[in-house]
Amino acid sequence: MEDKKIKVNFSLQKLICFVAVILFFIKLITWHITSSISIFSDAMESITNIISGFIGLYSLYVSSLPKDHNHPYGHGKIEFISTAIEGFLIFFVGIIIFIKTFIRVKNHETIFFLRLDYGVYLMSFTAIINYFLGIFVCKIGNKNGALTLIASGKHLQIDTYSTFGLVIGLILLNITKCIWIDSIISIIFSSLIFYTGLKLLRYATAGIMDESDKKLLKKLSFYINEKRDIHWIDLHHLKIIKYGSSLHIDCHLTVPWFFNIKDANQEVLKLTKLTKDKFGNKVELSVHVDACTENHCFTCFNNSCRVRKNFFQKKILWTLDKTSYYNNNRRKDLIFIKKNKYGI
């Protein structure tokens, strides 16, 4: 099943590279026909599509390699590195476009107004191709858990929006005959490229630095809380590290103190299966088992426990603020419940 997904991902990324090359030449021809700097801007941005497409193809190959002695967690981090390179290239292209626009304004270069209709038609065609390909790529990327495909799909969709904006500008330029509109469109377009590049760099840095994904942690916490076993007394120090489409999850699970190693291991296996049922087989779970104490009796809802030292007071929901690594709310809840018991 995984091999089939990998083949689909490769084939789709190859298609992205092929389409990127074809559309680049169409945009380049359109620029030569119209001499529009905004079309040149779009064509230059397409170069990053080609480069990032081939980088994405290589990163998909590397990330699909099995774990080895030198890479015990796999090769998934390459996807974040490729995204960082893509972000830098996009940012660099934004600078080139801005410089080209400045030179154009300074030298008072002309535009062939009579040919702008060709520009509108050709650029609209490239935008439509990018839009539908982007939707399809994102759909398959989400289905297969391929971050590279998702990034490529989002990039194609961003290209579509900017190209449609460019087309609207060309129509206005053709109607008004005001050359400065072309320069304004180019500046707006280069600003959008700056923003896209910085956003991709930010995303890649977060992945490389193992920044906490609160949305994913919240989703995992809610799911485990919904399916929790009566022997799972507490869950804390929950952390997730992304390795491309693979996830490494660390957590502490509190179980009854009288459980032996075999019993505790059974609970870990239950939690592992539960997690993989939700997030797929590319999840690796590392669980540290803790033994419960008398204070946990206040929040333990196992009514059949024969060694209970305190009465049950309140069930703590395993929300993000209770399970995540850097939160003391779980401890505060236990202290609050204990104080209430003694009327403090």
Beta bridge partners of residue 241, listed in sequence order: 248
CATH topology (fold) of 214-341? Alpha-Beta Plaits (3.30.70)
Domain at 2-208, CATH homologous superfamily: Cation efflux protein transmembrane domain (1.20.1510.10)
φ and ψ at residue 298, rounded to 5 degrees: -65, -30
The mean per-residue pLDDT over the stretch 214-224 comes to 91
Q: What percent of the chain has pLDDT over 70?
A: 89
pLDDT given at position 15: 92
Write down the domain spans for the chain.
2-208, 214-341
CATH topology match: 2-208 vs 214-341: no
Token pair 């779009």 is at which residue? 42
Distance between CA atoms of residues 330 and 322, nearest Å:
5
Tokens of 246: 């693979």
Q: What pTM value is reported for the model?
A: 0.72
Residue 319 · residue 222 · CB < 8 Å: yes
pLDDT higher at 241 or 157: 241
Predicted confidence (pLDDT) per residue in 97-151, tens digit: 778 777 766 776 555 555 667 778 888 898 899 889 989 998 888 887 777 787 7
Amino acid at 231: H
